[in-house]
Amino acid sequence: MTQDLSPLVEIRHLGFSRGNRVIYEDISLSIPRGKVTAIMGPSGIGKTTLLKLIGGQLQPDHGQVLFDGHDVHRASRSELFELRKRMSMLFQSGALFTDINVFDNVAFALREHSGLPEAIIRAIVLMKLEAVGLRGAANLMPNELSGGMQRRAALARAMALEPEMVMYDEPFAGQDPISMGVLVKLIRELSDALNLTSVVVSHDVHEVLSIADYVYVVADKKVIAHGTPAQLQALDNPQLKQFIQGAPDGPVPFHYPAEDYQKELARGLD
């Protein structure tokens, strides 16, 4: 099997703002095929936004996102839908459809797109559920599952159409250590077994560094550092160091920008 070396996703000089607030000034990164690429950064800098930009759910102010050479934001609606069948996204909340059970959730996209007979769909769904260890929970409703199990069910659903790329939005946020371990193992194994391109957006430094092949660190509306986990830890960038080590104050200030504390106190109530 010949390995296509061109990146699956290329983001070129992307700019995005929400109202008057600039989220990204000029961001460029590329996501290689068959690897786990992580995008890290502090909370509230719009990492989820980046995934939605890749998925074509949001329109950038300028710049391009190329998925396998196709400009996501220039594509017509039907072309975009064809591209989306090749990618899938694991939302932070899981975003399972709450009115149908786990089995139907996983089967949803298959029934919609594949046109396969129900017997084959059933086999595929059970296989996907087995892979995430939830075959026994097939008949439960999403609200009967714990948070970690919901995310695993969502993962099974994301895998249902055998996509080329899966985007994970904060897969580790708010998980207990066991669930976290399970998810780390699943993401790594699925990626290796299916030669899947994975994009993990997260601020959980240790988990990310343990599974990622390549890491981009985003802060201040741009990419501040990138490299393999080993390269990153060797870099001498104070902002990056603060983030990786988790120091409360440093180049990324602890305080939200405000006027001088002494002055504000002295001003009193007027």
Q: Which residues bind another protein (CB under 8 A)?
A: 52, 55, 57, 81-82, 84-85, 87-89, 91-93, 95-98, 108-109, 112-113, 161
| Comparison of 6 and 57: residue with beta carbon closer to another protein | 57
**161 within 8 A of 109, measured Cβ to Cβ:** yes
C-alpha span between 35 and 7 (Å, rounded): 10
State the nearest-atom distance from the C-beta of 76 to another protein, in Å. 13
| Comparison of 172 and 243: residue with beta carbon closer to another protein | 172
State the nearest-atom distance from the C-beta of 159 to another protein, in Å. 12
**78 within 8 A of 125, measured Cβ to Cβ:** no
Looking only at the bridges linking them, the beta strands covering 36-40 and 9-18 are unpaired
- The residue among 94, 153, 99 whose CA lies nearest residue 128 is 153
C-alpha span between 242 and 229 (Å, rounded): 15
Looking only at the bridges linking them, the beta strands covering 222-227 and 62-67 are unpaired
- The residue among 116, 120, 56 whose CA lies nearest residue 85 is 56
| Comparison of 87 and 205: residue with beta carbon closer to another protein | 87
| Comparison of 71 and 104: residue with beta carbon closer to another protein | 104
State the nearest-atom distance from the C-beta of 48 to another protein, in Å. 9
State the nearest-atom distance from the C-beta of 166 to another protein, in Å. 10
Looking only at the bridges linking them, the beta strands covering 9-18 and 21-31 are antiparallel
State the nearest-atom distance from the C-beta of 80 to another protein, in Å. 8
**175 within 8 A of 183, measured Cβ to Cβ:** yes
State the nearest-atom distance from the C-beta of 32 to another protein, in Å. 21
**What CA dihedral angle connects 160, 166, 169 and 175, to 10 degrees?**
60
| Comparison of 141 and 224: residue with beta carbon closer to another protein | 141
| Comparison of 66 and 240: residue with beta carbon closer to another protein | 66
